[in-house]
């Protein structure tokens, strides 16, 4: 019952973030700036520390960070291939699909945490819910800024909102080895660093009020840091 409530809350949080981004589309550069900080904040303050915490039980820190570097470089290569061979709309869909996969992993994290204990599961669930809202903003922004239509952006938003539910449900069917979960978190940390640093930050900063846009980026990172820190 508790897992069902958490799954519904994750769906609602992601959807609310995306709808806010759609409503404030005329302020897209500011929302993009915030999203850039939030994406980088998720990588530095959530994914990578958790990857090191879990992964160093089986691997050295060097190996874990190497997987993060691999994620960054692998995403860069795929991004350049999509940019070279396809239009920007396809690129937006590709990036949104990565965000959806990350959201599935969020759900997996919740499910596996509850396999460990109820208390650990609740703590992880709260952590996931705090950045699900920004996940919705990021998904909507990624599609819209790459010339996707509102309907396309909304479809990706719904998929991203449903992704944690899929992740939670999947953990009823398997148990992921601890070494694999740490590596997966590190890999997605690299993905998010690329998305934030090479995509969202340049797009938000280009030809827009630079001080305010930069302030929004710093605010996005600060909000994620405070949320994750307060949750512990």
Instruction: Enumerate the domain spans of the chain.
Output: 2-231
DSSP, res 26 = G
Pairwise pLDDT comparison (158 vs 85), residue with the higher score? 158
Whether 83 shows a pLDDT value over 70: the answer reads: no
Contact 138, 106 (CB under 8 A): no
Find which of 40-54, 108-122, 168-182 is predicted with most confidence, using mean pLDDT: 40-54
Whether 198 shows a pLDDT value over 60: the answer reads: yes
Q: What pLDDT, on the 0 to 100 scale, is given for residue 130?
A: 65
Contact 164, 75 (CB under 8 A): no
Count CA within 13 A, CB hemisphere, residue 226. Answer: 7
**Model confidence, pTM:** 0.70
Q: What pLDDT, on the 0 to 100 scale, is given for residue 67?
A: 95
Instruction: Give per-residue pLDDT as tens, 18-66.
Output: 888 777 777 777 877 888 898 898 889 888 998 898 888 899 999 999 9
Whether 84 shows a pLDDT value over 80: the answer reads: no
């Amino acid at each position: 019952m508790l897992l069902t409530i958490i799954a519904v809350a994750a769906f609602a949080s992601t959807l609310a973030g995306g709808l806010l981004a759609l409503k404030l589309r005329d302020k897209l550069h500011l929302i993009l700036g915030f999203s850039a900080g939030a994406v980088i904040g998720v990588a530095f303050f959530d994914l990578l520390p958790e990857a090191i915490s879990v992964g160093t039980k089986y691997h050295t820190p060097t190996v874990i960070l190497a997987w993060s570097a691999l994620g960054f470089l692998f995403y860069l290569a795929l991004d350049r291939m999509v940019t070279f061979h396809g239009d920007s709309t396809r690129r937006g869909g590709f990036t949104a699909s990565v965000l959806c996969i990350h959201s599935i992993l969020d759900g997996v994290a919740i499910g596996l945490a509850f396999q460990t204990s109820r208390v650990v599961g609740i703590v992880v669930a709260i952590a996931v819910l705090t950045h699900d809202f920004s996940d919705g903003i990021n998904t909507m922004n990624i599609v819209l800024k790459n010339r996707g239509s509102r309907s396309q952006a909304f479809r990706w938003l719904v998929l991203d909102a449903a992704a944690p539910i899929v992740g939670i449900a999947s953990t009823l069917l398997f148990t992921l080895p601890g070494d694999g979960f740490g590596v997966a978190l590190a890999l997605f940390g690299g993905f998010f660093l690329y998305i934030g640093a090479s995509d969202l930050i340049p797009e938000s900063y280009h030809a827009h009020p630079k001080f305010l846009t930069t302030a929004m980026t710093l605010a996005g990172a600060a909000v994620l840091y405070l949320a994750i820190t307060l949750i512990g």
